[in-house]
Chains A and B, each alone.
Chain A
């Protein structure tokens, strides 16, 4: 660059032109890439929406529509009243499991994290290290032992089989510990001088200050539970206990013979709660991942 600037004014004008051109070319490439990727990522979703709102007899229509051209809300009603699944029950099962799991994780993870971050006791760091190392064990590896444990406890085919193993997580403890560590310790010293006990420090000082981390954990836990597919397949046997992801696969029928518009309507319904949650808290999710991502 500096060599070019030393050259004659005529040359530098040409080089400046090329530089502008290169910048322009770069911008075009970057924007094309971003827009194409956004379309690829989002087009199937809008195809789901469009097809779920079309008359079922037209769901195989080509060329495909990527935005709703008709509003055949009957598909959604058909899912809700479908004889193949018990929509309200399955939806409620999923929601119940997801909500209980989320609340339990927020409570247990934050308490454990508070103790790791703010209390002093022998062996604290060793225990925390054990927690962390359990993050390295893939869920697949503990799938069979967990199954056997659940069977021994007699919890097969009950929602507890899905809730109990998920009431706490090393990931959540790690996430919240990092957040608690970020609070200036002067705050806790001041509280101690004013006579606050540990409970009060935890509940009235620590928790309110880690809102973003808490909501990130809430979203991840809710998502993980709501989308859980392998768990219900392993543990649930009877119709009354099934969850929503299983219901969608059931709707699609053997070898995909189910009514396509209805399946897609069910998929849209399953996206809805998570979408609402996310749109409200998008900023928190990204910041929450930032907290975990950086400390890895």
Chain B
């Protein structure tokens, strides 16, 4: 359980934040407002919908035989993948689903951070002859670091609490491959009715999160720049 949750949290947090930041930088560029509106709406859309029902939809899409995703894979000449029925792929599917659903939310958080960076800095850098990559490296990344810090903590806490995804998508299976902590707590507490044990498990999760968050605060002194 802990190992599953750990893997899920690490991968989901990493990809959510990476894609969220990249998307935010992309959407933040100068472009006609109608395109900007369409892009933002399309990218943010999955955030608005019920996780449970979307997981249901992905269940349809990821079926091994006659599933849409496998059909598309075959069209480009790749072999079909046992997305939900193999225990090694099931975790990949669960992470993929979470990233698909949540990276739009992180995009909006990063977007807010990006918009707070004064335009003047970029202009000055451009005059000094800094390339686009240099501008990203020396202006965007340091100035976005407080936002990134917030976003990473939020996504770790959020990912540790994922329930609907696995409940609908895999039911924790196959075997125990995608049984995450919250699902486990739910099963002990409300199916086996061992409330005390369930509460103890959830407290260990809390302890781990507190340690992780404190660790983040410690590490943040090295890479987060406030002004």
Q: Residues of A at under 8 Å CB distance from B? A: 1-2, 23, 26, 30, 33-34, 37-38, 40-42, 44-45, 47-48, 60, 62-64, 136-141, 143-145, 147-148, 223, 226-227, 229-230, 234, 245, 248-249, 252, 256, 260, 263-264, 266-267, 270-271, 274-275, 278-279, 282, 285-287, 289-290, 293-294, 296
Contacts and interface: CB of A to CB of B under 8 A. Distances in A.
Given A145-B199, A270-B53, A293 B46 contact: no
A267 B56 contact: yes
A44 B67 CA distance: 12
17 contacts: A1-B131, A30-B26, A34-B23, A37-B23, A38-B42, A48-B57, A63-B71, A136-B209, A138-B205, A138-B206, A141-B203, A144-B198, A229-B52, A267-B57, A274-B48, A282-B37, A293-B109
Chain B contact patch, size range = 35 or more
Given A138-B206, A144-B202, A41 B109 contact: no
Nearest to B188: A144
B53 A248 contact: yes
Contacts of B61: 44, 47
Contacts of A64: 68, 71-72
B48 A293 contact: no
A285 B41 CA distance: 12
Interface of A is mostly: helix
Given A30-B29, A282-B41, A230 B206 contact: no
Interface string B168-186: 1000000000000110011
A294 B147 contact: yes
B137 interface: no
A229 B112 contact: no
Interface in B94-153: 100, 104, 108-109, 111-113, 115-116, 129, 131-132, 146-147, 149-151, 153
Contacts of B92: none
B52 A245 contact: yes
Q: Across the A-B interface, give the 4 residue pairs with the lowest CB-CB distance, nearest first.
A: A296-B150, A290-B112, A1-B129, A42-B42
B81 interface: no
A229 B54 CA distance: 12
A143 B185 contact: yes
A26 B134 CA distance: 13
Contacts of A293: 108-109, 112-113, 147, 150-151
B139 to A, nearest CB: 16
B213 interface: yes
A140 B185 contact: yes
A111 B207 CA distance: 32
Nearest to A256: B59
Contacts of A285: 108
A37 B43 contact: yes
B190 A234 contact: yes
B48 A275 contact: yes
A62 B71 contact: yes
A249 to B, nearest CB: 6
B51 interface: yes
Given A140-B181, A267-B50, A293-B112, 9 more contacts: A1-B131, A223-B48, A226-B50, A230-B164, A248-B56, A249-B52, A282-B41, A287-B112, A290-B115
